[in-house]
Structure 1
Amino acid sequence: MAVSGRPRALYQRIADKLRAEIADGTLGSGSRLPTEAEIAAEWDTTRSTAVQGLRVLVNEGLIVSDRPRGYFVRSRRAMVYRPQAEFRKRPLSPELDAFLTEMAEDGREASQRIEVQVITPPREIRERLRLGEGELVAVRRRVRFVDGVPYNTNDSHFPLSLVHDSEIMNPDDIARGANTVLAELGYEQTRAWDEIQVRMPTPEESDRLQLGPGTPVAVHLCIGYTQDGKPVRAVVNVLPGDRHVIAFERSRPSLGADPLIRQAVEGDIRTVTELWAHAAAWLRDRGIDQWQYPPRAERIKENITAGECWIVEDDGVPIATITVDAHADPDFWTPEEAAEPALYVHRMAIRRDVSGLELGSAMLDWASQRAADRGVQWLRLDAWKGNSGLATYYSSRDFTLVRTVDKADRRSGVLFQRPAGQTRNVGPKLITREG
């Protein structure tokens, strides 16, 4: 039997209603809320209960009390914070730094206050920069203002031994950026590690940012590394939750310049079966009955032992598999066709997160060239009868439909072939590693 939840107290329901009106825009930024007396009358309750409900929203940072005028929706225009923008190319001599430029383009008045200190770093910074006991850091402490309101803090820590005679030690804006100065000193950053934590602010953070009660902050910690893995910069950004939207722009990574295709070894049986299962699950989700049975591990093992099963890797990560052999399935190919020299493609499976990059086309080109190197006439395959999209795929890759064999006990049977050596030259180039 279902048990209903405990009814919410009246002051909580008052807060819920006002919160919803703020969320849907009924009470817009800067709007004046009903008075304590008006709320008490609306809800047929006491003024103290109304005040209790309003205090909930004050503590949540949604409204502010401005006595004797009343309560108002906190007026904040969110700043879009883009962590990924840090490594964008910047002019060597811009008039304003990136933050000031972005705010100016947004029609807002921006400024910043910078101070530089030499300090013994807190434990977290010391460990992230891999500093020894007693080693000092230079920290550029920055408060950024928008329209006169402190919007965030940006504290950049550098090992003092790297920057002690550089512009980084001056409490002025560095037009071309501290990252460029580090690069000029021989410490160019090629990658960064980012962590974002959401919590309530410390008293110091509340003071620097003039935060009202109930305002959480997002803390963005960024560690910059050189090509050889040396950490050279640790930045702590504190972003009040009522003033920021954190936006990440992501692009789908392309494959490495030259993915590797190698012969599978015995230890790859699990890799092949996982790639198979991954593809089968994707097909099942789309109502396609192809490969809806357990992968035949013994058959895969036989193909691996015979050197017929191959794995495609990108940066050492398996992303696809293909099996190529000289076996003409007697259920599909006639004795006359089986007598013709040919290689046959089986069990080609590609991870879905690399789909659309023409990896399949590249694998078929690789198999076609392998067939030509073997001196055979055809590259052949049999496709699933219930997967019309697959048949279209092979036709668009210059395979010719031979015929469809309709055997009751076989789901496959749409036969295709392409002359050995014929390639489309699209997709990545695969580098072959035998043995």
Structure 2
Amino acid sequence: MPKHADKRPRHQQIAADLRALIMAGTLPRNTQIPSTQQLVDKYDAANATIQRALTILKNEGYLYGVPGKGVFVRDKQPFVIDVAAYFAPSPEGFTYKLIDVREVQPPVEVVDALGIAPNETAILRHRLLLHAGEPIELSWSYYPASIAAGTPLAERKRIRGGAPQALADLGYPQQNLTDQISTRPPTPEEVEGLELPEEVPVIRQFRVIYSNNMQPVEASILVKGGHLYELKYKVATT
């Protein structure tokens, strides 16, 4: 008996195994998966359990059914994220929905990251990123009020060129960034805003942007559906 047995319901275990096979390419894109009976035999599970597992993967976008033919692996390409990338809005690509802009008392981690006093405020820009009309990321970006108050960063409207351009215009060009990556279950707000399927975790990035002399000018919490993304890092070894 393993020290830490998998206590998830059987359909979740099967979905996890099939998901791993799809991500590894063992079940290639645009190919038919084994029949329900073959999966019943492979996993020694009831037909209803297999169907529940397949429903999870259909909801996540990994599989699709063709009436009278079977279930196939969708040609699903994850968003491979270059951590330094800024998604410029485009007619057929990425667009932003501005949810809120206001002056707030930021959370402790933001206070620490920006190096501001505990009683200082920040300008919050809360946004939803969409791709082809589908929600893919929620973001909460904080800027020290001493920098952003009374500027386009504090206005409840989109900024031409985005926040990077606004900061550059203020004399704070972006020079470096750090990312802290974690995963966790989504909050109710994130489930609704990102239209997440059941049981999908989120990827949380805590990003700090630095300007000249490593001055922190932006701290952002970026939350993405874990079923949509892969994070790619390129590190020089010489």
- TM (normalized to structure 2)? 0.72
Paired AA for residue 110 in structure 1: F
What residue in structure 1 maps to residue 205 of structure 2?
220
- The question of whether the paired residues in 2 share the 8 Å contact of 1:111 and 1:146 is answered with yes
Per the TM alignment, residue 190 of structure 1 is displaced from its structure 2 partner at its CA by 3.2
Q: Does 1:243 align with 2:232?
A: no
Distance 1:14 1:166 in 2: 52
Q: Does 1:199 align with 2:184?
A: yes
- The question of whether the paired residues in 2 share the 8 Å contact of 1:144 and 1:153 is answered with yes
**Cα distance change of structure 1 residues 47 and 171 upon mapping to structure 2, 3 Å threshold:** same
Per the TM alignment, residue 144 of structure 1 is displaced from its structure 2 partner at its CA by 1.2
The CA RMSD over aligned residues, in Å, is: 4.3
Distance 1:136 1:238 in 2: 23
Per the TM alignment, residue 63 of structure 1 is displaced from its structure 2 partner at its CA by 5.4
What residue in structure 2 maps to residue 22 of structure 1?
22
Q: Does 1:77 align with 2:77?
A: yes
- Matched residue SS, 1:205: helix
- The question of whether the paired residues in 2 share the 8 Å contact of 1:58 and 1:214 is answered with no
| Cα deviation digits, residues 269-304 of structure 1 (max 9, x gap) | xxxxxxxxxxxxxxxxxxxxxxxxxxxxxxxxxxxx
Match of 2:113 among 128, 131, 134: 128
- Matched residue SS, 2:80: strand
Distance 2:95 2:107 in 1: 28
**Cα distance change of structure 1 residues 162 and 77 upon mapping to structure 2, 3 Å threshold:** same
**Cα distance change of structure 1 residues 169 and 71 upon mapping to structure 2, 3 Å threshold:** farther
Distance 2:162 2:16 in 1: 46
Q: Does 1:99 align with 2:83?
A: no
- Matched residue SS, 1:100: coil
Per the TM alignment, residue 242 of structure 1 is displaced from its structure 2 partner at its CA by 1.8
- The question of whether the paired residues in 1 share the 8 Å contact of 2:19 and 2:62 is answered with no
Paired AA for residue 94 in structure 2: A
Report which of the two structures shows the higher radius of gyration computed on alpha carbons: 1
| Cα deviation digits, residues 136-173 of structure 1 (max 9, x gap) | 21111221111221111232210122111111123333
Distance 1:30 1:168 in 2: 48
Q: Does 1:113 align with 2:105?
A: no
Per the TM alignment, residue 211 of structure 1 is displaced from its structure 2 partner at its CA by 0.8
Match of 1:144 among 125, 129, 132: 129
Q: Does 1:171 align with 2:160?
A: no
Per the TM alignment, residue 210 of structure 1 is displaced from its structure 2 partner at its CA by 0.9
**Cα distance change of structure 1 residues 187 and 201 upon mapping to structure 2, 3 Å threshold:** same
Paired AA for residue 129 in structure 2: R
- The question of whether the paired residues in 2 share the 8 Å contact of 1:80 and 1:247 is answered with yes
- Matched residue SS, 1:84: coil
- The question of whether the paired residues in 2 share the 8 Å contact of 1:152 and 1:209 is answered with yes
| Cα deviation digits, residues 397-423 of structure 1 (max 9, x gap) | xxxxxxxxxxxxxxxxxxxxxxxxxxx
Bigger relative contact order (CA 8 A; separation at least 6)? 2
**Cα distance change of structure 1 residues 33 and 100 upon mapping to structure 2, 3 Å threshold:** farther
Per the TM alignment, residue 128 of structure 1 is displaced from its structure 2 partner at its CA by 1.5
Q: How does 1:333-344 map to 2 (within 5 A)?
A: none
- The question of whether the paired residues in 2 share the 8 Å contact of 1:216 and 1:241 is answered with yes
- Matched residue SS, 2:85: helix
| Cα deviation digits, residues 217-248 of structure 1 (max 9, x gap) | 22222212333443221022222222122223
Percent identical:
25
**Cα distance change of structure 1 residues 42 and 198 upon mapping to structure 2, 3 Å threshold:** closer
